[in-house]
Amino acid sequence: MRAMSAPLPEFQRFQYAFTAHIRNPKANPCPRGIEARRMGIYRRLVYSNLESFLLTCFPVLRKVLGSRRWARLVRRFLATHHSCSPFFRQIPDEFIQFLQSTGAIPAGYPEFALELAHYEWVELALSVSTHTPAWETIDTEGSLLEQRPVMNPALANLRYNWPVHRIGPPRARVTPAETCLLVFRDATDQVRFIEINAFTSRLINLLIPAEQTGRAALEIVAEESRHPSPEVVIQGGLEIMRDLQVRGALLGVAK
């Protein structure tokens, strides 16, 4: 027979009631013994602090949604999401996880809301990434075709269904369009965004593991695309790799 769990101490029951009311005052009454005016101050402080962390990362999403829809989304996040991290700087990470959950974004919101939020979040994620190049294993002067190219470890190769990098004012018309973006942190610790095509995106995905030569990766691309002149693909790919190296997205080749 299972032993019945002991009831929570009074102070813990009070804490749960207190935080439940702050998270969702419409569903949870104000705990007894607390003046409604003071409880209102707590609610505003928690919401304002949470929103300030989100606004730092998602200014465009806030602008596109407008104040009312933005506030509704933030309050839903506060009321329903259970964060896995105690660190304030990871609140945007938790917000992305919340938006990715089923039913998080209310009906009637822009279809691109999640992708736009993810696009804005990537900049923060790469700016604080701890991944740094192991320069002792990289030859910056080697052959990009005959050796194994090494991509920047602080890099994201993204594909969206919407042109997220062009979304702005709420009245602007936005139509779906497959969009490939390369985002990386350069040698000056600046996060850079490059719009790329599907060819370059596929090449980068093949190069990220650094397990094959540039030529081998380009041969795969040529075969997949059924290009009648594989050598044209290889020469075009070489120019792309050189450009990526100049920009800092590709670092060199493995020693």
Residue 32: which CATH number?
A: 1.10.150
pLDDT band at 171 (very low <50, low <70, confident <90, very high): low
Whether pLDDT at 120 is above 60: yes
Please answer whether residues 20 and 28 qualify as being in contact, where contact means their C-beta atoms are separated by less than 8 angstroms: yes
pLDDT at 182: 98
For 244, list phi and psi in degrees, rounded to 5. Answer: -65, -35
Instruction: Flag the least confident range among 7-11, 136-140, 193-197, 245-249.
Output: 7-11
pLDDT band at 166 (very low <50, low <70, confident <90, very high): very high
Question: Tens digit of pLDDT for each residue in 198-251?
Answer: 999 999 999 999 999 999 999 999 999 999 999 999 999 999 999 999 999 999
Q: What single string gives the DSSP state of each residue in 155-220?
A: EEEEEESS-GGG--STTS------EEEEEEE-TTS-EEEEEE-HHHHHHHHHHTT--S-HHHHHHH
Residues 252 and 145 in one domain: yes
Q: Is 46 exposed, middle or buried (0-12, 13-18, 19+ CB in 10 A)?
A: middle
How many domains does the structure of the chain reveal? 2
What integer best gives the mean pLDDT of the chain?
92
Residues 60 and 25 in one domain: yes
Question: How big is the chain, counted in residues?
Answer: 255
Enter the tokens of residue 171.
């009245």
The 8-class DSSP code of residue 32 comes to T
Residue 167 falls inside a structural domain: yes
Residues 173 and 101 in one domain: no
Residue 126 falls inside a structural domain: no
Domain that holds residue 162: 131-255
For 243, list phi and psi in degrees, rounded to 5. Answer: -65, -40
Average pLDDT in the 19-33 region? 82
Instruction: Flag the least confident range among 37-51, 110-124, 214-228, 229-243.
Output: 37-51
> Distance between CA atoms of 51 and 13, rounded to whole angstroms?
27
pLDDT band at 135 (very low <50, low <70, confident <90, very high): very high
R_g of the chain computed on alpha carbons: 24
Q: Give me the helices (H) in 66-155, please.
A: 67-80, 91-100, 113-127
Closest CA to 204 of 152, 148, 153, 157: 157
Residues 6+ apart with CB under 8 A from 36: 30
Whether pLDDT at 172 is above 80: no
Question: Tens digit of pLDDT for each residue in 56-108?
Answer: 999 999 999 999 999 999 999 999 998 888 788 899 999 999 999 999 999 99
Enter the tokens of residue 119.
């696009």
pLDDT at 5: 67
The 8-class DSSP code of residue 105 comes to S
Residues 104 and 151 in one domain: no
For 136, list phi and psi in degrees, rounded to 5. Answer: -70, -15
pLDDT at 1: 42
> Distance between CA atoms of 44 and 56, rounded to whole angstroms?
18
Residues 49 and 161 in one domain: no
Residues 178 and 217 in one domain: yes
Residues 160 and 241 in one domain: yes
> Distance between CA atoms of 139 and 39, rounded to whole angstroms?
61
